[in-house]
Amino acid sequence: MSIPLANATIILVEDDPNAQLVALDLLRMGGANRCYSRRSVDSAITFAEKLPQVDLFLVDINMPQKSGFDLLDEVRRHARLQGALVVAVTAGTLEHDTARIREFGFDGFISKPLRAAEFASQVQRLLNGERVWEMR
């Protein structure tokens, strides 16, 4: 699978409004045209169901109500969304946190704070089929 960033449909699931704005700006500056954000797992899934296709979910792990783990579980069980990549974008970079993320089956991991000069290329690498596991 290789999808140009400009053609990919990306949903960012992030409850922090500042982190949400930064990530969206970095994606757009990197050339993404179809990137959307939602502040909860439920609203992300509901929104994704209305789109013709979703290529990538970028999800914070620690959110109120449902976590990034819940989102991954729902996406993998969803008949139409299960082919989307799900990547953890989180500040939890302790070894047991990252091991749990890997064991749970995420397609990648990008630590916060995001590296402005690298974020769009990290996402493009994911869209090219590469496994990205990059910690700060």
136 pLDDT above the threshold of 80:
no
In tens, the pLDDT along 70-120 reads 999 999 999 999 999 999 998 866 677 788 899 999 999 999 999 999 999
Q: How confident is the model at residue 21 (pLDDT cuts 50, 70, 90)?
A: very high
- Rounded to an integer, the average pLDDT of 11-17 is 97
Query: Any idea where the domains of the chain sit in the sequence?
Result: 5-129
- Say what the alpha-carbon torsion angle 95, 5, 25, 63 is, to the nearest 10 degrees: -40
Read off the pLDDT band of 135 (50, 70, 90).
confident
Look at the alpha carbons of 4, 6, 135, 66 in this order and tell me if their dihedral is positive or negative.
Answer: negative
Residue 59 confidence (pLDDT): 98
What average pLDDT is seen over the chain? 94
The three-point CA angle 89-94-100 to 5° equals: 70
CATH class, domain 5-129, is alpha beta
Q: pLDDT at residue 134 above 90? A: no
Q: How far is CA 56 from CA 72, 84, 117, in A?
A: 11, 5, 20
pTM (predicted TM-score) = 0.95
